[in-house]
A and B are shown apart, each in its own frame.
Chain A
Amino acid sequence: ETGVTQTPRHLVMGMTNKKSLKCEQHLGHNAMYWYKQSAKKPLELMFVYSLEERVENNSVPSRFSPECPNSSHLFLHLHTLQPEDSALYLCASSQVARGSGNTIYFGEGSWLTVV
């Protein structure tokens, strides 16, 4: 079992749908992240949570809405997405949010296709 698990692994949704991505970490970490990986683009940091508090929001459109109910769970709520939002969405966690020595551990990702 990996330390960070994501569900669903694959999701196809229409532009008017509402769906959520779920992430759970079993590493006892205090920080969680959402990254977006599109074809031909580098990994983009979307959100950072530290002890359930959002500490970084990297100019992400409001159609992406994160939620962190506790330090082990992270959600990404999706609605009225565009086809260009199709990507691999990666959840990650680290011991703490701030600091140079933090190693980020990733989940397997959720492949999202918007049709």
Chain B
Amino acid sequence: AQKVTQAQTEISVVEKEDVTLDCVYETRDTTYYLFWYKQPPSGELVFLIRRNSFDEQNEISGRYSWNFQKSTSSFNFTITASQVVDSAVYFCALREGGFKTIFGAGTRLFVKA
């Protein structure tokens, strides 16, 4: 069965600190995709990244980086030098074939000035 676990419910950091958001997933499929979304207080889920199960290369985009490790079924997200604007709820998600994207419970990040 599909499952996505984000064990960190809330994280609070001070601006300029680095922070890592954890995501662990379960799937029996060999072909799947993993996603991260950001949800600011306005409500919209903003797509950040998509990764397929055959590509374990880490990815960096500005202050954001993602570490995908199939051996531990993890897809962690690091924000370097966090800023107040990074405050939001972050969701990790998993999609196999079919119609459903399974979302984790989300991690609420507070970045204090």
A-B contact count (CB 8 A): 57
Counting chain A residues whose Cβ lies within 8 A of the other chain, the interface size class is 20 to 34
Q: Which range contains the number of B residues in contact with the other chain?
A: 20 to 34
Please tell me if A61 contacts chain B, counting CB pairs below 8 Å.
Answer: no
Against B, the Cβ 8 Å flags (1 = close, 0 = not) of A62-94 are: 000000000000000000000000001010100
| Distance between B41 CB and nearest chain A CB, rounded to angstroms | 11
State whether A102 touches B42 (Cβ < 8 A): no
Contact of B101 among A2, A104, A108 (CB under 8 A): A104
- Give the chain B neighbours of A109 by CB distance below 8 A: 43-44
Task: A83 to B44: give the CA distance in the assembly, Å.
Answer: 23
Could you give 17 example pairs across A and B, Cβ below 8 Å? A45-B99, A45-B100, A55-B99, A90-B43, A98-B98, A100-B31, A100-B32, A100-B52, A100-B95, A102-B101, A104-B35, A104-B101, A105-B47, A106-B37, A106-B44, A106-B46, A109-B44
